[in-house]
Structure 1
Amino acid sequence: MGQTTSSPTHTANSSSSASCPVDHSAFAKHPPTPLTVPPSCPVDHTSIETRVRSSTAASGCPVDHASFSKSSSSEALDPRNHLPVLTQERVPTQTIDLPTERTASSIPRDAAGNWEYPSPQQFYNALVRKGWETPEGEIETMVQIHNFLNEKAWEEVHKWETQVNKDEKFQLVSLKGRPGELSPKARFWLVVGWLLPDRFNNEPPFDRHDWIVRRPSTGEQVRYVIDYYGAPPLPDGSPVFSLDVRPALDSFGSISMRIRAATRTAWENVAQDARHG
């Protein structure tokens, strides 16, 4: 279950405090529903997307959860997102001021409130810490894209969860970035893409996240896997991303959800073929 969509400043398909909570459902050369930037936007998204994809192809989300989790043992990590506290201090080499205000997401963290996104200054500090060279003037746009992808990923999780209980007020209790670790599904489709490159996408996801969702009414926790894919830009140069969001196959309930979704999709395809036959 996934989708591709467009942000006020970018595109993504459906995958917190300083965290990056990005359908590859058809796995064709071009993903199903693209997330794109309006052509009137003055920001050069193509150049940003090129840098993001070239870097994330090897390293994942700009907020590098994996490398942070390997930080010095003296540095306390938040177990909810495996990140240290990201400073709001200006980098010594920084030439412009970046906003330090943080935006609240629509993603519930617990009964007390929602996750917050990193401020542009925190986001920039994370990039600098990782060694990425990113124009400071583009940071605010990158944060908007980052937040947009989070929201779209949560929408996909919401679609899955409401199949179980549409009235449940489920929460994202923790998340972890796993760049460089291919999920079994991503690995399968990568092999298919290598074997049939004319029919299927043969690019690996540029990032992967695991989200743990809690159902407060029962206390059950469900792990979701999010694979983030890049896609060919639109003719106007607007970048496109694709998200594959689904419950991990590590419990009977999640397996049942995946089987029901696959069965429903198969019947919908049969019905569509019959209408056009």
Structure 2
Amino acid sequence: MGQVTSSTQHTQHQSSSSSPASCPVDHSAFAKHSQPSSSCPVDHTSLAKHAQSSSSTTSCPVDHSSMSRASSSAPAQCPVQPETLDPRNHLPVLTQDRAPSQTIDLPTERTTSSIPRDAAGQWEYPSPQQFYNALVRKGWETPENEIETMVEIHNFLNEKPGKKFKNGRRKSTSVDEKLQLVRFKGRPGQLSPKARFWLFAGWLLPDRFNTEPPFDRHDWVVRRPSTGEEVRYVIDYYGVPPLPDGSPVFSLDVRPALDSFGSISMRVRAATREAWGKMATEATHT
């Protein structure tokens, strides 16, 4: 009778071995060494009650009810908030403070450009100190004694597009007014469709077309104050072989983006003028 009881309990132990409430006693060994009247020393009744009242072993140890009550007042947010960018140029506010690793003092004076920002005045270029802080922020290692020269080149390259779209607008309309640069964005590494086309042409005919991509790209949004019309210009900056004296030379491709019928019309008129001008020059030389 005792052996039958022990055998039955052993079978139940095998079928429920994954349960945390299984009997810890090896019933098979117990049955071999016990007398027929012996029984398991573990109270299986209380063990079963404990198994019914306990939760799964894979339950989360955190009290979710209290956690949900504590967090119900505010949604979860990322503790790292993105820095505020100036919507006009998509850049953070650059300080005039020295960088931690900086070894020499850099000028903090800013140069006023010839490019109108609004009716109140023109845009200001960053100072050498602000320019250096921007390079440090991007992780670019640049000799500090070359920063002022880099700022001069930067300002020179940004003056050229202003003159180009100003001349283009004067040719396309009889109204002479100061266009305003509302906002702009640097997009280095993002090739425009036109730049991709010329790269493909250079791949096909490397002896005739440029095979180097532009080293920089800007998108400028220009406003005409009399009508409030805004036109986006795409500017690709190319480097060309330097002059014999070593002076750097740059080539800028400035044109309206194909965002509207007016911009498309401007592009067509500009291309027509350029083609006629080239034909007239060739005819003169012949």
Q: Please give the TM-score of this superposition, normalised by the length of structure 2.
A: 0.70
Does 1:113 pair with 2:121? Answer: yes
Structure 1 Cα separation of the partners of residues 185 and 164 of structure 2:
17
Q: Following the alignment from structure 2 to structure 1, what is the Cα–Cα distance between the partners of residues 85 and 267?
A: 33
- Find out whether 1:176 has 2:185 as its counterpart: yes
Letter in 1 for 2:268: I
Cα distance in structure 1, aligned partners of 2:125 and 2:162: 14
* 2:104 equivalent in structure 1: 96
Residue 244 of structure 1, aligned match among 241, 248, 253: 253
Q: Distance in 2 between matches of 1:164 and 1:184?
A: 24
Equivalent position of 2:282 in the other structure: 273
1:155 alignment counterpart:
163
**Counterpart secondary structure, 1:201:** coil
Q: Which runs of no fewer than 5 residues in structure 1 stay unpaired?
A: 1-71
Q: Distance between the aligned counterparts of 1:253 and 1:223, measured in 2?
A: 11
Instruction: Tell me the SS of whatever aligns to 1:243.
Output: strand
* One-letter identity of the residue aligned with 2:144: E
Q: Deviations over 1:146-195 (max 9, x none)?
A: 00111112111111121233412210000011111111111000000011
Residue in 2 that maps onto 1:20: none
Secondary structure, aligned partner of 1:213: strand
Q: What does residue 260 of structure 1 align with? A: 269
Distance 1:268 1:96, change over 3 A: same
Offset at residue 196 of structure 1 (A) = 0.4
- Displacement of 1:92: 1.7
2:239 is equivalent to residue 230 of structure 1: yes
Cα distance change, pair 138–178 in 1 and its aligned pair in 2 (3 A): same
Could you tell me how far apart the structure 2 residues matched to 1:206 and 1:196 are?
21
Change (3 A) 1:118 1:173: same
Judging by fraction of residues, say which structure has more helix: 2
Percent of pairs with identical residues? 79
Structure 1 distance, partners of 2:109, 2:143, is 19
Question: For 1:83 and 1:178, how far apart are their aligned partners in 2?
Answer: 12
Residues 17-46 of structure 1 show CA distances to partners (whole Å, capped at 9, x for unaligned) of xxxxxxxxxxxxxxxxxxxxxxxxxxxxxx
1:138 corresponds to which residue?
146
4+ long deviations beyond 3 Å: none
Q: Structure 1: how far apart are the matches of 2:110 and 2:277? A: 42
Distance 1:244 1:194 in 2: 19
1:81 to 76, 84, 89: 89
SS in 2 for 1:258: helix
Q: Which amino acid aligns with 2:99?
A: V
Give the letter aligned to residue 114 of structure 1: Q
Give the partner amino acid of 2:145.
Answer: G
The Cα offsets for residues 37-77 of structure 1, whole Å up to 9 and x where unpaired, read as xxxxxxxxxxxxxxxxxxxxxxxxxxxxxxxxxxx744211
Q: 1:73 to 1:168 in 2, by over 3 A?
A: farther
Query: Residue 160 and residue 73 in structure 1: after superposition, are their counterparts in 2 closer, same or farther (change >3 A)?
Result: farther
Distance 1:168 1:77 in 2: 30
Could you say which structure has the greater relative contact order, defined with CA pairs below 8 angstroms and 6 or more residues apart? Answer: 1
1:209 match: secondary structure: strand
Structure 2 CA distance, aligned partners of 1:133 and 1:193? 32
Q: Which residue of 2 aligns with 1:185?
A: 194
- TM-score (ref. length: structure 1): 0.72
Question: Using the alignment, how far apart are the partners of 2:155 and 2:285 within structure 1?
Answer: 39
Provide structure 2 residue ranges, at least 5 long, that are not aligned to the other structure: 1-79
**Deviation per CA, 1:244-274, whole angstroms, max 9, x where unpaired?**
0011111111111111111112222222232
Distance 1:266 1:74 in 2: 48
Give the letter aligned to residue 93 of structure 2: V
3-state secondary structure, aligned to 1:186 = helix
